[in-house]
Amino acid sequence: MSRSRDRTRRHPAYLRRPEEFYTLWIAATSTYGVGDIVSTIAFLAYVPAVEEANPIVAFALDSFGLAGLVGLKIVVYLVMLWISVLGAREGDGLLYYFPPVLLTAVGLYLTGSNVRLMWIAT
């Protein structure tokens, strides 16, 4: 039996191990979604002399305000979730695990960076 045929008979990883799937994406949501958004809003509110360094985020904030920031985060999040689900369906572990792990790492870094900058500025 070939590997590709074997993959079609197995359920995707998010169905076989739903707790793992939810844990990965709750971590990504907590750090990239909530942590970075809250720390960015706090940073911009409490240190108004400093502007957003990321030009894409700065454009979203200038054009649409906080809704632009949240909307941009949601788009990135949904694209990464789609990649992860596609990887699970194809049996590709890298595509399944990489998106939530990347978002978690980026969220931790950005949240930490924002908190550090607020600490230095006050």
**How do residues 63-74 score in pLDDT, each as one tens digit?**
999 999 999 999
Instruction: Band the pLDDT of 5: cuts 50, 70, 90.
Output: low
Residue 29 CB contacts under 8 Å (≥ 6 apart), including other chains = 77
Separation between Cα atoms, residue 13 and residue 59, nearest integer Å: 37
Separation between Cα atoms, residue 121 and residue 80, nearest integer Å: 33
Residue 119 CB contacts under 8 Å (≥ 6 apart), including other chains = none
Centre a 10 Å sphere on the Cβ of residue 83 and count the other Cβ atoms it contains.
17
* pLDDT exceeds cutoff 50 at 2: no
